[in-house]
Chain A
Amino acid sequence: MIDIRGVSKSYAKGKVKAVDDLTLTVRPGEIFGFLGPNGAGKTTTIKLIVGLLRPDAGTITVAGWDNQREALKAKAVTTYVPDTPEIYERLTGLEYLNFIGDVYGVPKAARLERIRKWLDVFELSPAVSSPIQSYSHGMKQKIVLIAALLPTPQVMVLDEPMVGLDARAAHHMKEMMREHCDRGGTLFFSTHIMEVAERLCDRIGIIHKGRLIAGGTMAELRAAASTQAVDAAGTSLESIFLELTDK
């Protein structure tokens, strides 16, 4: 569903290589967790997938569409939640959702049903008629999530989606992620919370200094890990992560 082939991206006229010859595939129905230390290239990779950045080299296809040459088709099947919820603060929550519904072409009946459902799930109904500028960080994060769910996309790309969410909302979010993939959708997300990645993801990729240094299921990562990473509880993702990114 997401196919990244030999993608590189650098900043400052090539002096800083944020993503270096990255190749990975995320299959339909899969939750793919993307881990890495700060500045490793996670957000750059995500921005490359959703078309916010242009790769210096390589190609990215989303649901079979090249995200540069057939950008609109790729965008039509993808929704994105950024790491900071920068959204139109002067609109009310409902106006923002209507805007997203309009640009993704969501019909009224489906729009109403989904908005009602997700507002209830994320307990945002009391605030939806207020301007977004009056929302807390967590509430903004929730409205961006609802907007991302509104078009029922094939591919969801989420950059640290748990930040700012309360425990209940984070729980619902994880349920939503699983449901989305059980229906055949694909979910690519970055996180710093190892436990979430370990329990939720079908496969995990670890990026460090712009390069993918490990990838696979938890079992595959454990098998690949050295003996140093084995602790009393077996090999935790945290141990693997610390060992790999320490090099």
Chain B
Amino acid sequence: MKRLAVLVRTALRVNFCLSVLRPRELLKKRKDFWMVPLIGLGLLGLIPVLIYFLKGLRWIFNLLAPLGQQAAVLTFGLLAGQFLILVFGFYYVLSAFYFSRDLPLLVSLPVTPTQVLLSKFTVILVNEWVTAAPLVLPVLIQYGLLARSGPRYWIEAVFIYLLLPVIPLAVVALLAVGLMRVVNVGRKKDFLIVAGSLALLAAAMGGQFWLSRSMNGSFDAQAVIRVFAAPDGLVQKIGARFPPSVWATRALAFGFRGEGPAGLLLYLSLSLGLFAAILAAGKRFFYRGLIGLSERIGPRKELSRGDLERGVDGGLRPARAVFRRELRIMNRTPIFLLNGVLSALLLPIVFILMGKFDTGTGSDSARLLGGLISSKPMVAVFASALFLTMCASLNGTASSAFSREGAQFWMSKVIPVAPRIQVRGKFLHALAIAALGLAAAAAAGGFVFAIRPLYLAAALALAVPATFLLTAVGMMIDLARPLLVWTNPQKAIKQNFNVLLALFADAGILFGGYRLVKLLAGTGLRTKAVILCVGAVFGILAAVSYVLLGAYAERRYRAIES
């Protein structure tokens, strides 16, 4: 037990950099003061989102309360949280269990496989509490306030929130441990991550289509009456495919009355049961799969003289060389590839597939929405521009551009290439990924939402400078505090606070853009003039931010010590 405690403490220290991070000193240093306006900008963008989320929850609660179905709000929150954990958990589990650099050291220590696995699992659990917080906590808090719940609810809510990640994490952990044991993936570990992620994504989308079709199919008038007639009919309907969310809802909503205790007991039993299964699987299979990973890649192929001659380049300009290095490293590191390229394409692809395969109400709604939007040119252009910009920028490529170099950053410091030029290579790379997102989002806009080509072209003209701006801002954030010490590539992009900070900043900038549009529209300017003004503002800001990025890089590359 003592050894496990030491392992867990060390794993948490490593994961959250607790040994080097001293929060009390964070804002004592003058060099960190820049974070204050940035966090302010982020809050400016986030607070409206949070307010709308809370308002939406209250609206749904008040709508459902007269029907006695208000507990469905909880089911929705818990289900969404657990689904989020399931998706993110897959990466966390694979990275922590099989791809951390500290594993060779841990394997050689006099600790059991179960203890190593448990220490890793605890770190993932803590990460998931943070990941799920923005989605689930507002739901739990808003429900508790609106239902005027007593202390029992709040204590139980904390308890249920702490257990929330266990079930989905246990499912993916068991899957990962089993897969690594059964399949000989020693030589194909990168392939495993990409294939596994795509399979998970396909399964999630397939499940969503299946769910939406089965819901549509059964939602005739009689079915609706049946759902609302039962005391927790809507709860059951929402959580039908994932009963633990129903049990947790019952435990929270009913307390010690009715089906509350049974719900709590079932939720607890399944969580503990799956946890025990992880322990058992860890004991039997964890090290066997892990040791298979250290197998070396097969025999090497020697290059002939001709091959070598062809392989040696004629000489690229430094910015292009940096661009090519970034491209290769990102494309060959599965975690980077998935969080960079796939993130940029994900949302548009989901919409396109919905348009292609979903002949039900989902697709019709999208076209209806598109039709409605297209009837108002200003809304059509700016809503499309927002969608394009988000698809292009909401991946972590720019905001992890320097962190991804990690311990190899020393090379960027010693090569005789001006930081301004190196940053140009990185900027072009981030833009290339953004361009993929832009293209896919434009295709989705035209194909699924049937936005008119002219409006799409105008939206693109707005989204391009906005993307330039957000890319430069994201890079500046990462440059200001690059995370260069990590043992697992996940830390550099997915668990990098800079990526989150950049999202805050992006939200703030886009909110600022929205206010500008509203302001200009309020003056009575014609649509074309508003588009031109906003485009010009973003164009100027993009140019200024790029120049600032170059100047900032010259300063920061000298200051960052590695």
Q: Which of A's residues lie within 8 Å of B, judged by CB?
A: 47, 50-54, 68, 71-73, 75-76, 78-80, 82, 86-88, 90-91, 94-95, 97-108, 111-112, 115-116, 119, 125-131, 134
| Given A90-B328, A99-B325, 5 other A-B residues pairs in contact with their CB atoms under 8 A | A53-B561, A54-B561, A88-B329, A100-B415, A130-B300
Cβ of B414 and Cβ of A104 under 8 Å apart?
Answer: no
What separation, in Å, do the CA atoms of A102 and B411 have in the docked complex?
13
Q: A94-B311, A129-B307 are in contact. Are A86 and B416 (CB under 8 A)?
A: no
* 28 pairs from A and B in contact (CB 8 Å cutoff): A51-B414, A52-B413, A68-B558, A72-B416, A76-B416, A78-B414, A80-B414, A86-B407, A86-B410, A90-B329, A90-B333, A94-B311, A98-B312, A99-B324, A100-B415, A102-B316, A103-B417, A104-B415, A104-B416, A108-B313, A108-B314, A111-B315, A112-B308, A115-B308, A126-B301, A127-B300, A128-B303, A129-B302
Say which size band chain B's interface belongs to: 35 or more
Taking a contact as CB atoms under 8 Å apart, the answer to whether A129 and B415 are in contact is no
- A52 x B301 contact (CB < 8 A): no
Please report B residues at the A interface, Cβ cutoff 8 Å.
296-297, 300-303, 305, 307-309, 311-318, 320-322, 324-325, 328-329, 332-333, 407-408, 410-411, 413-418, 558-559, 561-562
What residues on B are CB-neighbors of A100 within 8 Å?
A: 415
A23–B109 CA distance with the chains assembled, in angstroms: 44
The listed residue (B303, B313, B411, B558) touching A98 by CB distance below 8 A is: B313
* Binding site secondary structure of chain A: helix
Task: Please determine whether A72 and B418 come into contact, CB atoms closer than 8 angstroms.
Answer: yes
**Nearest Cβ on chain A to B52's Cβ, whole angstroms:** 42
Contacts A51-B414, A72-B416, A75-B416; A108 near B561 (Cβ below 8 A): no
Q: Are B332's CB and A101's CB within 8 A? A: no
Which residue in chain A gives the minimum CB-CB distance to B304? A125
Q: Contacting A102 at CB < 8 Å: which of B297, B321, B332?
A: B321
- Say yes or no: A75 contacts B328, CB within 8 Å: no
- Decide: A103 near B415, CB < 8 A? Known: A94-B308, A126-B302: yes
Distance from B192 Cβ to chain A, minimum over Cβ atoms (Å): 15
- Let me know if B408 and A101 touch, CB within 8 A: no
Nearest-CB distance from A146 to chain B (Å)? 13
CA A87 – CA B313 in complex, angstroms? Answer: 20
Within the complex, the shortest CB–CB distance from B403 to chain A, in Å, comes to: 15
Is A88's CB under 8 angstroms from B408's CB? yes
Tell me the complex Cα distance, A109–B332, Å: 29
B313–A52 contact, CB under 8 A?
no
CB pair B414 A50 closer than 8 Å: yes
Q: Which 10 A-B pairs have the closest CB atoms?
A: A102-B321, A76-B416, A75-B416, A90-B332, A126-B302, A108-B314, A86-B407, A103-B415, A112-B312, A102-B316
Provide the residues of chain B in CB contact with A90, threshold 8 Å: 328-329, 332-333
CB–CB B302/A125 < 8 A = yes
Complex Cα spacing A91 to B408, Å? 12
Closest chain A CB from B519 CB (angstroms): 45
For B415, the chain A residues whose CB sits under 8 A away are 75, 100, 103-104
Given A103-B318, A116-B308, residue A88 in contact with residue B325 (CB < 8 A) = yes
Cα A41 to Cα B318 in complex, Å, equals 33
Closest to B309 in A: A112
Smallest Cβ-Cβ distance to B330: which chain A residue: A90
Residues of A within 8 A of B314 (CB): 107-108
Cβ-defined contact, B315 with A101, below 8 A: yes
Name the residue on B nearest A75 (C-beta): B416
- B98: shortest Cβ distance to chain A, in Å? 15
